[in-house]
Amino acid sequence: MKTAECILTGGLWEGVSHRDWSDWTWQSANRIHTIPQLSKILGKATGNLGDYVHVIRNYPFCVTPYYLSLINLANENDPLRMQCIPDAREIHFSMGGVPDPLEEERDMPVAGLIHRYPDRCLTIVTYTCMTYCRHCNRKRMWKSERPPINRRYLQTMIDYIGEKKTIREVIVSGGDPLTMEEGHLEWFLKSLRSIPHVEVLRVGSRAPVVLPMRVTRDLCSMLRKYRPLWFNTQFNHPHEITRESARACEMLLDAGIPVSNQSVLLRRINDEYETMRELLYGLQRISVRPYYLFQCDPVEGTDHFRTDIATGLKMMEKLWGNMPGLCMPQYVLDAPGRRGKVPLFPSSPMSCMAVGAYGSFQQTH
List residues binding ligand PLP (CB under 6 A). 114, 116-117, 120, 122, 171, 341
227 binds, among ligand PLP, ligand SF4, none (CB under 5 to 8 A by kind): none
Q: Which is nearer to ligand SF4, 176 or 303 (CB)?
A: 176
The 3-state DSSP class for residue 291 equals strand
Q: Is 85 in the site for ligand SF4 (CB under 6 A)?
A: no
Q: Which is nearer to ligand SF4, 116 or 206 (CB)?
A: 206
| Known active-site residue 206 | no
E strands in the chain = 113-117, 120-124, 169-173, 200-204, 229-233, 259-264, 289-294, 330-335, 340-343
Q: Is 133 in the site for ligand SF4 (CB under 6 A)?
A: yes
What dihedral angle (degrees, nearest 10) is formed by the CA atoms of 280, 235, 37, 33?
A: 170
| Known active-site residue 62 | no
The 3-state DSSP class for residue 62 equals coil
Residues 60 and 128 sit within 8 Å (Cβ to Cβ): no
Q: How many residues does the chain have?
A: 365
Using CB under 6 A, which of 65, 175, 290, 312 touches ligand SF4? 175
Report the candidate in 143, 217, 219 with the shortest Cα–Cα distance to residue 181: 219
Q: Which stretch, 9-17, 65-73, 173-181, 269-277, contacts ligand SF4 (CB under 6 A)?
A: 173-181
| Known active-site residue 297 | yes
Residue 110 DSSP symbol: B
Q: Which stretch, 40-48, 171-179, 289-297, 316-324, contacts ligand SF4 (CB under 6 A)?
A: 171-179
| Known active-site residue 57 | no
| Known active-site residue 220 | no
| Known active-site residue 268 | no
DSSP string, 115-179: EEETTEEEEE--S--SS--TT-TTTHHHHS------HHHHHHHHHHHHH-TT--EEEEESS-GGG
Report the candidate in 296, 298, 279 with the shortest Cα–Cα distance to residue 288: 279
Quote the CA–CA distance of 203 and 176 in Å, as a whole number: 9
Residues 234 and 203 sit within 8 Å (Cβ to Cβ): no
Q: Is 67 in the site for ligand SF4 (CB under 6 A)?
A: no
Q: Which is nearer to ligand SF4, 48 or 144 (CB)?
A: 144
How would you label 158-173 residue by residue, b for 16+ Cβ within 10 Å and e otherwise? bebbbebeebebbbbb
The 3-state DSSP class for residue 341 equals strand
| Known active-site residue 106 | no
> Would you give the binding string for ligand SF4 spanning residues 15-54, x where CB under 6 A is met?
----------------------------------------
Least separation in angstroms between CB 335 and ligand SF4: 19
Catalytic residue among 84, 121, 133, 249: 133
85 binds, among ligand PLP, ligand SF4, none (CB under 5 to 8 A by kind): none
Q: Is 206 in the site for ligand SF4 (CB under 6 A)?
A: yes
Contact residues for ligand SF4, defined by CB under 6 A:
129, 132-133, 136, 138, 174-176, 206
* Catalytic annotation, residues: 116-117, 120, 129, 133, 136, 138, 297, 334, 341
